[in-house]
Chains A and B, each alone.
Chain A
Amino acid sequence: MSGYSYLKDKCIPNILQILGAVAVSSFMSMLGNSNDAITLLLVGWGFVLVLYYSFDYSCRKRYYNSLLESLKHLKQKYLIADVMEKSHRLEDVIYHRILHMGNKAMLEEISETIHECNDYIEYIEQWVHEVKTPLAAMKLICDNNRTPEAIKVLQELERANRCVEQVLFYARSKNVEKDYLIKEVNLDEVVKKSIQNNKQLLLEKKIQVKLECDQSVFTDGKWIVFILDQCIVNSAKYGATNIVFYSEVIGSKTNLIIEDDGIGILSEDLPRIFDKGFTGKNGHELQKSTGIGLYLCKKLCEKLDVLIDVKSQIGSYTKIILTFATGRLK
């Protein structure tokens, strides 16, 4: 608030004051008062007026500044109505009440939305667990009757299962804290688990896998398995015939690297492959890409404090590198 804008705001009372002063002084001169007396009156009047305005201006300025200051320090800015300094001015009181009511309505709306969202997540989790029963039943039936058709059904089942898992992890990625257990995890074990999850796909595409990882890291195994699943599916989708899993220790960090010999990723696509919905040139050509898998990987990695990086050379290889901090916990 500047002095100019303050005076501009007070424009009408100022004009009224000037008109009043003119009227009073002409009235007084008509009554035969001396010019000195009129000047004295006007100076006195002006003095009181300037005194009042400067006092009022400084008060207002202090009030608004403190308000802006507290807003700046407030993390949830919409709570300003609850923390702002009380003012007894009529205008302030009314505006405060309006602000308060508006915020309250918004908070109610927000909490309702959050509630609905959590309800939905809960429903999704429940649904996933429910749908797993018929999937398990189908798998058992196929395993009990291993005809060539059953093996094809098994492949499709594995795919359905992956889709279902993705839904589950997407729903969970919102509040990881609920389902998160850091333990010492052997990389060899999680890699094996993930390979088994994708057994039918790898066998169907005749992809050879090689494991050279025996380090342990502290993380949540289930999430890493999910991330590895996405990597394996991508490798299989983009023409890999070999996938090598290996680990290396660099200082206080452990890297798990998934390297395939697929078609690779264009260098201009590389920075964006973890973006939601990004499919890139490869995805467009295959028409089967959703752009969700790697986005989820990145999101989960962020929550797990794992770095995920990708290196690729078109037509020769793609490497996904997961970096775990080992620190002194060894």
Chain B
Amino acid sequence: MYKIAVVEDDNTIRSELHLVLANHGYEVCDIVDFTNVVNQLKEIKPHIVLLDINLPGEDGLKICMKLRAFSDVPVIFVTSRDTDIDELQSLMMGGDDFITKPYNISILLTRIAVLLKRVYKDENQLVLEHKGITLNIETGRLIKDGLEAELTKSEMRILAYLFRHVGKIVPRADLIDHLWDNEMFVDDNTLSVNITRIRNKLEGIGVYHLIETKHRRGYYIDKD
């Protein structure tokens, strides 16, 4: 499990970020005392750091610079300052990414995942599995007992989202919302068409009735 350190002085944002990240399977360490952030980070040894720029005491840029003296941990700057100069400065101080408030959770999560994958060369994140069906996110391949099916990009995104929310009803609105965040601007009809195609492809590799439609509530994949 990856450990994420959140360095953010706004209480609400910190606790909500904590919740989001914890819900997505990360271990979250909050920094609440801003007197010696660098040393605290040294002790926590996170896999990734979310760093605000405007902080009481030392600002994020300085912290990042000090952090770089002994660590190559990936740092994502999360800030309300949005000028190009800020972005440039943060990258020059050794930041790996830069996201401005009010950020999009999907985008934040995607960036975290991309960075983790790049730095820790982890392939686990690329393969989702459920009931013996494996879905490779990079190639869009669906495999079950040696049978294969190839998904289009949007089909892959939809199925991946459903796989990540197994056991929960996924409302159509949430699914569409998620797809828009990932640059797929689908409408209601297109989503239905895509779901039908996914079901056909699943049947092609011998999986029936995996995705249930809950009337007026959304889609559902059973836990077991």
CB distance from B217 to the nearest CB of A (A): 12
- Residue A199 CB within 8 A of the other chain: yes
Beta-carbon contact of B180 and A203 below 8 Å: yes
- Residue A12 CB within 8 A of the other chain: no
CB distance from A239 to the nearest CB of B (A): 17
Beta-carbon contact of B102 and A135 below 8 Å: yes
CB distance from A150 to the nearest CB of B (A): 11
Beta-carbon contact of B103 and A143 below 8 Å: no
Within 8 A of B (CB), among A178-234: 179-181, 192, 195-196, 199, 202-203, 206, 208-211, 220, 222
Beta-carbon contact of A141 and B16 below 8 Å: yes
Number of B residues, CB within 8 Å of A: 31
Given contacts A132-B102, A137-B10, A137-B16, contact A203 B84 (CB under 8 A): no
- Residue A174 CB within 8 A of the other chain: no
Q: Which residues of A contact B177 (CB under 8 A)?
A: 199, 203
CB distance from A185 to the nearest CB of B (A): 12
Given contacts A129-B80, A129-B81, A222-B84, contact A136 B103 (CB under 8 A): yes
The contact of A136 among B20, B81, B102, by CB within 8 Å, is B102
Write the chain A residue with the least CB distance to B104: A196
- Residue B183 CB within 8 A of the other chain: yes
Write the chain A residue with the least CB distance to B9: A133
- Residue B176 CB within 8 A of the other chain: yes
Within 8 A of B (CB), among A140-162: 140-141, 143-144, 146, 151, 157, 161
The contact of A143 among B54, B80, B84, B105, by CB within 8 Å, is B105
- Residue A36 CB within 8 A of the other chain: no
Given contacts A203-B180, A208-B187, A222-B84, contact A135 B101 (CB under 8 A): yes
Within 8 A of A (CB), among B1-56: 10, 12-13, 16-17, 19-20, 23, 54
Q: Which residues of A contact B19 (CB under 8 A)?
A: 144
Beta-carbon contact of A151 and B105 below 8 Å: no
A136-B13, A157-B102, A203-B176 are known contacts; what are 16 more A-B pairs with Cβ within 8 Å? A129-B81, A130-B80, A133-B13, A133-B80, A134-B12, A136-B80, A136-B101, A137-B12, A140-B17, A140-B105, A146-B174, A161-B102, A199-B180, A203-B177, A203-B180, A209-B185
Between A and B, 27 residue pairs with Cβ closer than 8 Å are A132-B101, A133-B13, A133-B101, A134-B12, A135-B101, A136-B13, A136-B101, A137-B10, A139-B102, A140-B12, A140-B17, A140-B20, A141-B12, A143-B20, A144-B19, A144-B20, A146-B171, A151-B173, A157-B102, A179-B83, A179-B84, A196-B181, A199-B177, A203-B176, A208-B187, A222-B82, A222-B84
Q: Contact residues of B with A, CB < 8 Å?
A: 10, 12-13, 16-17, 19-20, 23, 54, 80-85, 101-105, 171, 173-174, 176-177, 180-181, 183, 185, 187-188
